[in-house]
Structure 1
Amino acid sequence: MTVKIQVFSDFVCPFCFIGEEPLRQAVEGKDVEVEFMPFELRPYPMEGMSPKSDYIQQAYKQSVQPLAQRFGVEMELPMDLDPVPHTHLAHQGYQFAMEHGQGQAYVDAVFKAYWQEGQNIGDVAILTGIVRELGLNEAAFQDAITGGTYVQDHKEALDLARNAEIQAVPTFIIGNQKLQGLHSKESIEQVIADQANDGMMNGASCGPEGC
């Protein structure tokens, strides 16, 4: 039985970036279907936070760095991007990439651009460069983003998160079980196994009264 996994995530969330690694390890070789689900921590026009603020500096040193080391993820807080960029355009770009069969590759590239290369993922030019590297049509991408082609799709994606009562990211919905926050490879694997077994036990069947 294929286990469906929805990953609610925002590109500027450090724990979302770190969480990609244990998830990747957990699903390797398994019958799963992983879908990235957009979420915005601070939707436009809400002002982004400053990476130089005491709050973010303290959180990064005390929480993010230790967890990044634990999970073997290389990352740097983009200090020059102040305030933290909005991500609505990056999420709209995901819709474009997904339509062209490069959804997960785009997600990986945007995370890398922000957390490892310090690039402004709120800039259409940066996003266009990412699309170019994926071998997609950059002119079509620019037209779609500047023309608002995916504004409604992104709104509907955020509505899905709201309806699923997602209040923090990352949040993983594995089958019918919700996991909020960063989890180990082993924890994710266990939930996948449980959900696969539930599906086998509760699959379609027939009884004396019919099917």
Structure 2
Amino acid sequence: MKIEVWSDFVCPFCYIGKRRLENAMEKFPHKEQITLEYKSYQLDPTAEHIPGKNFYETFSELKGIPLEQVKTMNQQVGQQAASVGLTYNFDDMKYANTFDAHRVAKYAEEQGKGKEVTERFLHAYFAESELLSDYDTLIKLATEVGLDKEEVEHVLQSDKYRNKVNEDIDVARQIGVQGVPFFVFNEKYAVSGAQPPEVFEEVLTKVWEEEQEKPVLQSLNPKKSETSYCTDEGCDE
């Protein structure tokens, strides 16, 4: 079974959804036959870090949302993160453009380290308040998971993997992705949002049993489910 996951490193529900899927996979009897592939997506392609402004202030100004409302929203997201063992440090988080981080992730994937880099970048952003648009930071994080420092530097100082990142974003647009995380199973079955683990468990079983029967991509979101996801307008739940 192939699972493709469109996500962004600065998307709080992407990390939550990642962990929920992983928890479901641990209970899946055929987990050894799952291939997991992460796809690039940018919530804000124009994002840039503004020194001297924290995440709350930047997000409030960009989205036109009162500062206190932004803080309340993030507190609620932090509670969801904590429910799956994640710690989000919104107070020190740094708003950043993730395009170069996605390029490094594409290089990491070719080196068999895609999953490791994805996890490292997400944890660095949400728990350690690392600036994911900073080249030195990306190099440090990538080498921590075993990538060659000089090769990572070369990637960042060139245009390598730019096309691959853009291809992922284009495909997302073509298949109708409106927010992330977005999960595609065997290129036929779609699930959007950070669904609860039990939903992913049901989806894994359903796809495994029916993968030869329905070749058309279909949504497996429960009809009455409440889910959480991020769009370029912000994160909602």
State the TM-score bracket (shorter-chain normalisation).
Answer: 0.7 to 0.9
What secondary structure, in the 3-state scheme, does the structure 2 residue paired with 1:178 have?
strand
Residue 52 (structure 2) pairs with residue 41 (structure 1):
no
Match of 1:32 among 28, 31, 34: 34
Aligned residues of 1:44 and 1:88 also touching (Cα < 8 A): no
Instruction: Give the length in aligned residue pairs.
Output: 198
- When residues 9 and 44 of structure 1 are mapped into structure 2, their CA distance, relative to the original with a 3 A threshold, is same
Task: In structure 1, give the amino acid aligned to 2:146.
Answer: G
Deviation of 1:179 (Å): 1.4
The TM-score with structure 2 as length reference comes to 0.77
Residue 162 (structure 2) pairs with residue 151 (structure 1):
yes
Aligned residues of 2:130 and 2:137 also touching (Cα < 8 A): yes
- When residues 27 and 158 of structure 1 are mapped into structure 2, their CA distance, relative to the original with a 3 A threshold, is same
Moved more, 151-160 or 38-47: 38-47
Task: In structure 2, give the amino acid aligned to 1:37.
Answer: K
How far does the alpha carbon of each residue in 1:163-182 deviate from its partner, in whole angstroms, 9 at most, with x for none?
Answer: 12111011111232211111
Aligned residues of 1:78 and 1:114 also touching (Cα < 8 A): no
What secondary structure, in the 3-state scheme, does the structure 2 residue paired with 1:154 have?
helix
Moved more, 63-72 or 98-107: 63-72
Deviation of 1:72 (Å): 2.6
Residue 135 (structure 2) pairs with residue 124 (structure 1):
yes
Matches of 1:183 and 1:59, distance apart in 2: 18
Structure index of larger Rg: 1
How far does the alpha carbon of each residue in 1:146-169 deviate from its partner, in whole angstroms, 9 at most, with x for none?
Answer: 111111111111111111211101
How far does the alpha carbon of each residue in 1:187-208 deviate from its partner, in whole angstroms, 9 at most, with x for none?
Answer: 10110110110136679xxxxx
Aligned residues of 1:78 and 1:115 also touching (Cα < 8 A): no
What does residue range 68-107 of structure 1 map to in structure 2 within 5 Å?
68-77=81-90, 79=92, 81=94, 84-107=95-118
Residue 209 (structure 2) pairs with residue 182 (structure 1):
no
Deviation of 1:145 (Å): 1.6
Aligned-pair Cα RMSD in Å = 2.1
- When residues 152 and 27 of structure 1 are mapped into structure 2, their CA distance, relative to the original with a 3 A threshold, is same
What secondary structure, in the 3-state scheme, does the structure 2 residue paired with 1:144 have?
helix
Moved more, 40-49 or 182-191: 40-49
Deviation of 1:13 (Å): 0.7
Task: In structure 2, give the amino acid aligned to 1:195.
Answer: V
Matches of 1:51 and 1:180, distance apart in 2: 26
What secondary structure, in the 3-state scheme, does the structure 1 residue paired with 2:3 have?
strand
- When residues 144 and 46 of structure 1 are mapped into structure 2, their CA distance, relative to the original with a 3 A threshold, is closer
Matches of 2:125 and 2:48, distance apart in 1: 20
Aligned residues of 2:55 and 2:93 also touching (Cα < 8 A): no
Matches of 1:202 and 1:165, distance apart in 2: 19
Aligned residues of 2:55 and 2:90 also touching (Cα < 8 A): no
- When residues 202 and 20 of structure 1 are mapped into structure 2, their CA distance, relative to the original with a 3 A threshold, is closer
Matches of 2:176 and 2:104, distance apart in 1: 24
Aligned residues of 1:11 and 1:111 also touching (Cα < 8 A): yes
Unaligned runs of 5+ in 1: 204-211
How far does the alpha carbon of each residue in 1:96-144 deviate from its partner, in whole angstroms, 9 at most, with x for none?
Answer: 1001110000000000111111100111111100121122111111111
